[in-house]
Chains A and B, each alone.
Chain A
Amino acid sequence: MPRRTSRSTADQVLETHDASLLDVVDNALTKGVVLSGDLTLGLAQVDLVYARLSLLLCAADRVLPTSRAPRTHPTARVPWGPGRRRRG
């Protein structure tokens, strides 16, 4: 995302965070179109991922400043925190 966001005018006027790893995982894991594929993820497994993510992010939050943290991966920077995990 940031490669495009960086060019947006909104970016210049707002304190913009890059999409976090959690956002990406949340979107890809729980909001993508579900085809009844040969491998369908159980909700229990997805919940497990979130439990672990929350732990990691709580830890990351104590280590990193909340804004302007050094960029590691463009989309893996600012922790947004847990939540938003239910399928629509």
Chain B
Amino acid sequence: MSATLTYVYCLVRAAGPPSLRRIPAGVPGARSVRLIEVPPKARGPKPKAQSPKPKARDWLVVSSVPARQYDEAAVERGLQQLDWVGARALAHEAVVEYFLPAPVLPMQLFTLFTSDERAIQHIAADARRIARIFARIEGRLEWGLRVTVSRPVQGSDPRTARGRPSTRAQGAPSEVEGRGLTPRSGAEYLARKGELRHAGRGELVRARRDAERAYRAIKRTAAAARRRPEVEQAAPGSRVVLDAAFLVPLGGRRAFEAAVRRHARPLARAGTIVSLTGPWPAYNFI
């Protein structure tokens, strides 16, 4: 294997070579980030006549990396160390993001070739698929919207939580007041615990329904939208009720943000976090 490998960050479509002024350094150990023009014959089917930028060319964004640090064995070792992966993921992402809002096709982390020629060959072999992806994402950026509900926020402890009035102990009023809300038996404790869980579930159902409604409304302002399955967050009891990606036309950002303000903002309240991130490369639409 050669002493250096070609690390590919992304493919950028532009009429001329994109500027590399102030481009991030690239993955650790890499030489400076550079461009390789993809020869037109490697670009697959010719752009149609109505294409707005018939002269756009494709540029591979690469840097040479030492084989010792990035060959198969090194990457396999590295993948077992979170810091190693994390540092490279952030560096990779920084280079990809540098080119936004130009049409950018981000490559998978650790896309490596033994030479520049091999990289070009592989691009050529995939030309049709790449052309299709560019057609989908050109002039658009991705935004992420997430709604997270933390449960339970309050009254999570059945020893002190209030039960519903109807199920409160029917004993002497003074005693109930005086002893506070401490359950007096195991059965009562369990009953309250069940009630709390029930109440929490109702809120979760409501949160999901609200998030779904917001998603549908915001989707109308986007060129495309995707939802990802609900997941439990790292924090115990916290749930992501909406994890969506929107593909938004460059000119439609204001309308999209207005829709987010109108439909998603009202969901944010105690225990519910609404977060909007972006613009991202169109990771979820390639």
Contacts and interface: CB of A to CB of B under 8 A. Distances in A.
- Please give me the 4 A-B residue pairs with the lowest Cβ-Cβ distance, nearest first: A83-B231, A81-B233, A32-B108, A81-B234
Query: Which of B107, B150, B280, B283 counts the most chain A CB atoms within 10 A?
Result: B283
Nearest to B122: A35
Interface in A23-44: 23-25, 27-39, 41
Interface in A20-67: 21, 23-25, 27-39, 41, 45-46, 48-49, 52-54, 56-58, 60-61, 66-67
Interface of B: 5, 8, 11, 70-72, 75-76, 79-80, 82, 85-86, 89-90, 92-93, 96-97, 105-114, 118-119, 122-123, 125-126, 130, 133, 144, 146, 150, 228-229, 231-235, 238, 240, 243, 257, 260-261, 264-265, 268, 273-281, 283-284, 286
A24 B93 contact: yes
A80 B233 contact: yes
A81 B108 contact: no
Given A1-B97, A56-B82, A61 B228 contact: no
Contact of B75 (A14, A32, A39): A39
Contacts of A5: 276-278
Contacts of B93: 24, 27-28, 75
B231 A45 contact: no
A46 B75 CA distance: 11
Given A39-B112, A84-B228, A17 B275 contact: yes
Given A14-B264, A35-B126, A53 B112 contact: no
Query: Which of A5, A38, A73, A82 counts the most chain B CB atoms within 10 A?
Result: A38
Interface of A: 1, 4-5, 8-11, 13-19, 21, 23-25, 27-39, 41, 45-46, 48-49, 52-54, 56-58, 60-61, 66-67, 73, 75-76, 79-84, 88
Contacts of A33: 11, 105-108, 130, 133, 286
A61 B235 contact: yes
Contact of B146 (A66, A73, A80): A80
Contact of B280 (A27, A46, A73): A27
B257 A39 contact: no
Contact of B232 (A9, A30, A32, A83): A83
Query: Which of B70, B89, B146, B280 counts the most chain A CB atoms within 10 A?
Result: B89
Contact of B123 (A23, A35, A60, A67): A35
Contact of A31 (B111, B234, B265, B286): B286
B122 A37 contact: yes
A41 B85 CA distance: 13
B253 to A, nearest CB: 8
A10 to B, nearest CB: 4
A16 B257 CA distance: 13
Nearest to A66: B235
A58 B260 CA distance: 29
14 contacts: A1-B277, A1-B278, A10-B261, A13-B265, A14-B264, A17-B146, A17-B275, A17-B277, A19-B277, A31-B284, A36-B126, A48-B80, A75-B90, A84-B243
